[in-house]
Chains A and B, each alone.
Chain A
Amino acid sequence: MKVANGKDFWAGLMFIGFGLGFMGVANNYAMGTAVRMGPAYFPTVLGGMLAVLGVAIFLRAFVSKIPHPVGVFPFRLWFVVGGLALGVIAYYTQVPRDGGDVAKIAHELLAGVSIGLLFAAFGPRSLWVILFSVVAFGYLLKPLGLVLATGVLIFGSAWGGHEFKTREVTFLFVALAVFSVFAFVKGLGLPMNIWPAFLE
């Protein structure tokens, strides 16, 4: 058997995975009856339908008349494996509330690397560079303040593009940092600190 349509092949697998995944997790909740549906009822039915459709799409991939290569977009399996492994470690090694700062930072770094690997597994370089700078912005906004977090986001995402001209990006960063301080913090009054928390 040869895969004719790579897009259908992967899409089918994805829908089967989601369908069975939702059914599997819903298994932990009460099913109830048709009269009094429990929390598991609707998701189980939908998950089953999704898995069936997934199988149909998957099978169609072998008979499809629309040819697509199996490699639809760049995919790096080892990144997924590594990211998942680190993610599982991070999930099960939660630092207790009274744990030291070093342990906390180490734990967050571990989680960060795991997420970065998972993002980096798919698509072109720009995908993970940009999305990772987005996530970094989110997590750095509080500790570093709006200006520095904006810097991380702007330099990071610009680096993810095709052309990176340091001077141009620096200018963009300054302009956007000034704009966002005035528009978001002063203008709209969003509760964000402008500078790093330890300076204010």
Chain B
Amino acid sequence: MEALFTNLGLGFSVALSFQNLFYCFMGVVLGTLIGVLPGIGPVATIAMLLPVTFTLNPTSALIMLAGIYYGAQYGGSTTAILVNLPGESSSVVTCLDGYQMARQGRAGAALGVAALGSFFAGCCATIIIALFAPPLAEVALKFGPAEYFSLMVLGLIAATVLAHGSLIKAIAMVILGLLLGLVGTDVNSGVARFAFGVSELSDGIGFVSVAMGVFGFAEIIGNLEQKGEREIFVKKVTGLLPTWQDIKDCTPSVLRGTALGSFLGILPGGGALLASFAAYTLEKKISKNSANFGKGAIQGVAAPESANNAGAQTSFIPLLTLGIPSNPVMALMIGAMMIQGIAPGPQVMTERPQLFWGMIASMWVGNLMLVVLNLPLIGMWIKLLQVPYRLLYPAILLFCCVGVYSLSNSPFDVMQTAVFGVVGYIWVKLECEPAPLILGFILGPLMEENLRRAMLLSRGDPLVFFQRPISLTMLLIAAFLLVIVLAPTVRKKRDEAFVEA
């Protein structure tokens, strides 16, 4: 316990330095700004702003990126409530009751509850990370290559199981991602694989290009395909502070949402999206007047908003302790860490306590900033939402292009991103979820490396993965997950859960 306070003390001393406060603030503001725009989710936002952070020191860079993440998360719910358009996928459920509340003239209460619920969830999640990350990292330090390989298999399988849509396509996308991740120079032999003599490709495909092409460009084009005007229901928001009755109504929902979200966020493949869907379904199940849901129930805003914020933060646990991303945003964070020269994994905590604890403390600071910032700034976000999309998307494209170009000052990256824009469009049309692909893409080289090492140590005996207990356990869980999902009853439930919400 004492160690926890010293650690958090160290963290706050880092996070509260003037410089880091500034970057946290910038991240939160930029994240909210772009998150408010419909159709641009956290992945595209982070990919777009990633190049800006390259010049910073690693701690500030990660603090800023984390700020962008929960800022975007937050901005998404504002859009959901005011325009009935999810700013990003995890606020899809917030649309249901949030927009209805706005139509009843209670937009202020909805926004206020979303903000305060998220803040509460953020505080809890920060403490959970501080409590659970260190022991988990201790365990992870004992992992050998076989354990790591099995852990990655488990992570990828879990990500496909929890993704919605066809399971077999999701697995195929993971494998395609792994393969794309292998493009470039092989560390062991020095052979430039799948580069076709293109010198830029021998460094590998840039993960910013993949993420921005698939999640940014493809989404913009998808948005343009759906004609139709957005209707902004509310011109002016009043009554942001919820009444006592509201607080009484939604305190239990916030608590349940936070607990559920924190738990789901830790699971590989989990994170904000799953958390918000699950929390909404749970609230609807246990509520006494579930008929109100979908018609402006305040619990239907409070629970998923708390859950997605809690989930967004606890999904940092597998990243910080194991070096395994549980969702595409975390995959981008790993990419950013690697560019900063930090190998993600359990050793980050012991080797760079400033970075580790500074980032955790900054999460709390960032959440506080979000509440302080967003409640008064809501008028500005409404103005921004009134700008027609036909003026917004060229601007978004420009920022994306400048960001990608500045990665290595070469047009090749821009070209590459455009190619992934086309491919991403095709994937969306064919109902192949790109999220598992990004995870595979980041893990491809790591997985190959660990497989090679494990096989070298076992002298070519593939049974090593089943002989080591931790490795075996993880493979069994992965197999178990696959079996459950393939079982007909669960399969039906899984489809329903995603359709319903």
Contacts and interface: CB of A to CB of B under 8 A. Distances in A.
Given A37-B451, A162-B227, A180-B398, 20 more contacts: A18-B179, A26-B193, A29-B186, A30-B191, A42-B447, A42-B452, A50-B175, A50-B179, A56-B168, A57-B166, A57-B172, A122-B425, A124-B221, A126-B225, A138-B401, A138-B418, A158-B394, A161-B224, A176-B394, A188-B52
A54 interface: yes
Interface in A103-141: 115, 118-119, 122-124, 126-127, 130-135, 137-139, 141
Q: Which of A37, A168, A184 has the most CB of B within 10 A?
A: A37
Interface in A139-181: 139, 141-142, 150, 153-154, 157-158, 160-163, 168-169, 172, 176, 180
Per CB-CB distance, the 10 closest pairs between chain A and chain B, nearest first, are A138-B414, A138-B411, A35-B460, A34-B460, A39-B186, A11-B430, A53-B172, A131-B418, A39-B191, A42-B448
B394 A154 contact: yes
B466 interface: no
A69 B81 CA distance: 35
Given A130-B221, A176-B398, A135 B193 contact: no
A36 B452 CA distance: 7
Interface stretch (B5-13, B235-243, B402-410): B402-410
B194 A25 contact: yes
B409 to A, nearest CB: 6
Given A73-B426, A123-B422, A172-B391, A39 B398 contact: no
Nearest to B411: A138
Interface in B410-442: 411-415, 417-418, 421-422, 425-426, 429-432
A10 B168 CA distance: 14
Q: Which of B189, B409, B451 has the most CB of A within 10 A?
A: B189
Contacts of B224: 124, 126, 130, 160-162
Nearest to B445: A42
Contact of B189 (A38, A50, A122): A38
Contact of A134 (B395, B397, B426, B459): B397
B4 interface: no
Nearest to A56: B168
A124 B182 contact: no
Number of chain A interface residues as a range? 35 or more
A30 B190 CA distance: 11
Contact of A53 (B168, B400, B426): B168
A76 B460 CA distance: 48
A22 B194 contact: yes
B415 A172 contact: no
A34 B454 CA distance: 10
Give the dominant DSSP class at B's interface. Answer: helix
B172 A15 contact: yes
B422 A157 contact: no
B172 A54 contact: yes
B182 A134 contact: no
15 contacts: A8-B166, A10-B430, A14-B430, A30-B191, A35-B455, A37-B451, A43-B193, A56-B168, A130-B224, A138-B411, A138-B418, A157-B393, A161-B224, A180-B402, A192-B405
Given A153-B401, A160-B224, A191-B409, A168 B391 contact: yes
Contacts of A131: 217, 221, 418, 421-422
A161 B188 CA distance: 47
A46 interface: yes
A112 to B, nearest CB: 10
Nearest to B430: A11
B336 to A, nearest CB: 17
Contacts of B225: 124, 126
